Amino acid sequence: MEKRRLSLIHNAYIVFLKDLHVEFRSRYAVNAIFLFAITTLTAISFSIGPIRLRSEILSPLLWIILFFSSMSGLAHIFVREEEQQTADTLRLLTTPNSIFLGKWFFNVILLFSLEVLIVPVYLAMMGVQVNSPGSFLLIIIIGSIGIASVATLIAAIISQASAKGALLAVLSFPISLPVLISGIHGTQLAMDGSTFAETLSDLQILFSFSIVIITLSLLLFEFIWRK
Amino acid sequence: MTDIYVVLIICVLIWGGIFFYLLHLDRLLKKVKQKIDFSEDLSSKKR
Amino acid sequence: MILDKSWWKYLLGLWMLLVILGAFLYAPPAKGLGETARIIFFHVPTAWLASLAFLISAVGSLQYLRTQEKKYDIWAYSAAQIGLIFAILATVTGSIWAKKIWQSFWNWDPRETSIFILLLIYAAYFALRSAIDIEEQKAKLSAVYSIIAFVTVPFFIFIIPRVYESLHPDPLINPEGEIKMDTRMLQVFINSLLSFTLLFFWMLRLKIETMKIYLKLDQSVSK
């Protein structure tokens, strides 16, 4: 039993490393996600100009950038396999759940690396004052895991369909709404300055949602992946 | 005051339309099903 | 689903007619909201049935994944279609009512938001189905999506109140402002709820039977 569990994580890690290497070669997803985020941020900052916005507006804007950047970049991990026809080989190599975990981890790391750049730039460009940095960070981190989890799962589904680009956003949006609503609400509180207790309910929702989605993915992924 | 009667009549008409359309579909389906069953019987008897 | 008899359909026709008449002539206008509140007899049943349809579709999806039998995919797809119709009706009637009593067509209050999310999920479901060509894939992937969407529903029960919490509480949850409805209103309301449910199942049955016939025809052509 221990051996089987270890090999799941082990295989997932190998899938992750493989994807990392392929990504370094082409940099497709990284480009997509970073460029989209920077473009959107620039457009927003430019259009708003010198006006200082309230947290009720700054919070949703940040999440819109993060969500739609994810939509641009996080599907690549599955779509690439289908387009380059490496998917069937991958199917033969290891168990579905290892594949899912590896790719999930890749997407989480991808989104985190985007945020390491974009969130500070956003705070700087929009002149945001974050009064509870701890809560702010926590909400962004757990919320991003939620978005990445949903995006990975839906990307797996649409990789076998056509018209993939638009479909990812359309399918992911309703499922991601709990993350968006709680995330937006929580970051708004964190910007205004709040105790940990106040953001706790949002954090609880974000955390439990991520757990539920990941569990659901592990249960359902085999159905999606098997031809 | 008479407005409510106008709305009422419109609603009744809408419902009438929907209801009879559904009945029509129902009868159509029954006919098609009978035809299919009949031709299935025929083809199974041929063998 | 064994009721091939016709009598209940005619009964439904009459029943719904009585409900409509009752809604306008028998039930008194609501206190404080007046005549416009009559729309509640049509708005609430359609909204409730739209959600029920989603549940039915999700159950059908689950059964399809477990058994791989085509009839469950038909079940899931048909329920989603009828559910979409009812969801659109609910949204439109709700919006009309909102315009009358709150002077704006859309407010993002909890009820409006949840029916809108339901619409989004249905739209996504059909978008997914139309993007896949292979029948088994179509059925399998849309079934998976249906289940995922259904699992997020409990979260919305906690989330939705947040969407509007900064403004006044949603009066729609308790349109009368009281928990009790006037008895005549209640009578018409219950009857409306039941007759609409019967209507829903009739429509669902028609749709499922139609899809089954398509399936049979496809199978006999391919032989």
Minimum distance, in Å, between the CA of residue C102 and any CA atom of chain A: 24
Angstrom distance (rounded) from CA A63 to CA A146: 12
Domain count for chain C, please give it: 1
Q: Give the C-alpha separation, A132 to A129, whole Å.
A: 9
Main-chain dihedrals φ then ψ at residue A170, nearest 5 degrees: -60, -45
Most C CBs within 10 Å, among A100, A215, A220, to test the C interface = A220
Split at pLDDT 50, 70, 90, the class of C176 is very low
In percent, how much of chain A has pLDDT > 70? 97
Q: What is the DSSP letter of C23?
A: I
In this prediction, residues B9-31 reach a mean pLDDT of 92
Which of the pair, A176 or A3, is modelled with greater confidence? A176
pTM of this structure: 0.89
Helix (H) or strand (E) holding C100: helix C70-102
Place of tokens 């309301």: C189
Cβ distance B22 to C216 less than 8 Å, yes or no, reads no
pLDDT tens digits for range C110-161: 778 889 999 999 999 999 999 998 888 999 999 999 999 999 998 988 777 7
Q: pLDDT by residue (tens digit) across C10-45? A: 889 999 999 888 888 888 877 767 778 888 889 999
Please give the C-alpha separations between residue A57 and each of A63, A71, A192, in angstroms, as whole numbers: 10, 21, 12
Average pLDDT, chain A: 91
Residues of C in contact with B29 (CB under 8 A): 206, 209-210, 213
Separation of alpha carbons A168 and A145, rounded Å:
17
Q: Do the chains contact at C141 and A181, CB–CB below 8 Å?
A: no
Mean pLDDT on A158-182: 89
Q: Do C131 and A163 touch (CB under 8 A)?
A: yes
HSE (side-chain half, CA atoms, 13 Å) at C137 = 16
Contact B12 C21 (CB under 8 A): yes
Structure tokens at C31: 């206190």
Burial of A21 (0-12, 13-18, 19+ CB in 10 A): exposed
Residue C145: its chain A contacts at CB < 8 A? Answer: 154, 157, 171
Q: What is the dihedral sign for C-alpha A203, A208, A209, A215? A: positive
Residue span of the structural domain in which B44 resides: 1-47
SS3 C109: coil
Contact present, C149 and C61 (Cβ < 8 Å): no
Q: Which of B15, B29, B30 lies nearest to residue C16, judging by beta carbons?
A: B15
Burial class (CB in 10 A: 0-12, 13-18, 19+), A31: middle
**What's the structural domain count of chain B?**
1
d(CA A68, CA A66): 6
Q: What is the pLDDT of residue C168?
A: 46
Residue keyed to tokens 């029916």: C115
Number of domains in chain A: 1
Q: Which amino acid is at B22?
A: L
Q: What's the pLDDT band for A94 if we cut at 50, 70, 90?
A: confident
CA torsion sign, A21 to A24 to A25 to A28? Answer: positive
CA A62 to CA A70: how far, in whole Å?
12
Cα distances (angstroms) measured from residue C46 to each of C24, C84, C94 = 18, 10, 10
CA atoms within 13 A on the CB side of A146: 31
Residue C71 has pLDDT above 60, yes or no: yes
State whether A160 and C151 contact (CB < 8 Å).
no
Residue C167 has pLDDT above 50, yes or no: no
Which of A223, A225, A226 is the mutation pick for testing C, counting most C CBs within 10 A?
A: A223
- Is the separation of the CB atoms in A70 and A148 below 8 Å? yes
Residue C2 has pLDDT above 70, yes or no: no
In a domain, C120, yes or no: yes
- Please tell me the predicted confidence (pLDDT) of residue A196: 81
Residue C30 main-chain phi, psi, to 5 deg: -70, 145
Name residues 17-46 of chain B within 8 A of C (Cβ).
Answer: 19, 22-23, 25-26, 29-30, 32-33, 36
In a domain, C22, yes or no: no
Does residue C141 fall inside a structural domain? yes
Minimum-distance CB partner of C206 among B7, B11, B26: B26
Reported ipTM: the value is: 0.90
**Residues in chain C within 8 Å Cβ distance of A175:** 148-149, 152
Q: Is the pLDDT of residue A125 over 50?
A: yes
Question: Percent of chain A having pLDDT more than 90?
Answer: 64
Task: Reduce the secondary structure of chain A to three states and give it as a string.
Answer: CHHHHHHHHHHHHHHHHHHHHHHHHHCHHHHHHHHHHHHHHHHHHHHHCCCCCCHHHHHHHHHHHHHHHHHHHCCHHHHHHHHCCCHHHHHHHCCHHHHHHHHHHHHHHHHHHHHHHHHHHHHHHHCCCCCCHHHHHHHHHHHHHHHHHHHHHHHHHHCCCCCHHHHHHHHHHHHHHHHHHHHHHHHHHHHHCCCHHHHHHHHHHHHHHHHHHHHHHHHHHHHHHCC
Neighbour-count burial of A162, counting CB atoms closer than 10 A to its CB (0-12 exposed, 13-18 middle, 19+ buried): exposed
Comparing B39 with C151, the larger pLDDT belongs to C151
| Domain extent for C96 | 38-166+181-222
pLDDT recorded at residue C223: 66
**C10 within domain boundaries:** no
Give the per-residue pLDDT at A122: 94
Q: Which is nearest to A79 in space by CA: A136, A25, A172, A152?
A: A152
C141 and A153 within 8 Å at the Cβ level: the answer is: no
Q: Do C141 and A212 touch (CB under 8 A)?
A: no
From chain C, the residues in CB contact with B7 under 8 A are 24
Q: What are the backbone dihedrals phi and psi of residue A217, each rounded to the nearest 5 degrees, phi first?
A: -60, -45
Q: How confident is the model at residue C164 (pLDDT cuts 50, 70, 90)?
A: low
* 8 Å CB contact of C155 and A216: no
B7 touches chain C (CB under 8 A): yes
Asked if residue A74 lies in contact with residue A111, where contact means CB atoms within 8 angstroms, the answer is yes
Task: Give A22-76 pLDDT, tens digit per residue.
Answer: 999 888 899 999 999 999 999 999 999 888 888 889 999 999 999 999 999 998 9
Neighbours of C30 (CB within 10 A): 18
3-state secondary structure of C107: coil
Average pLDDT over residues C158-177: 56
Does residue C5 have a pLDDT over 60?
Answer: yes
Closest Cα in chain C, distance from residue A153 (Å): 9
pLDDT band for position A4 (cuts 50, 70, 90): low
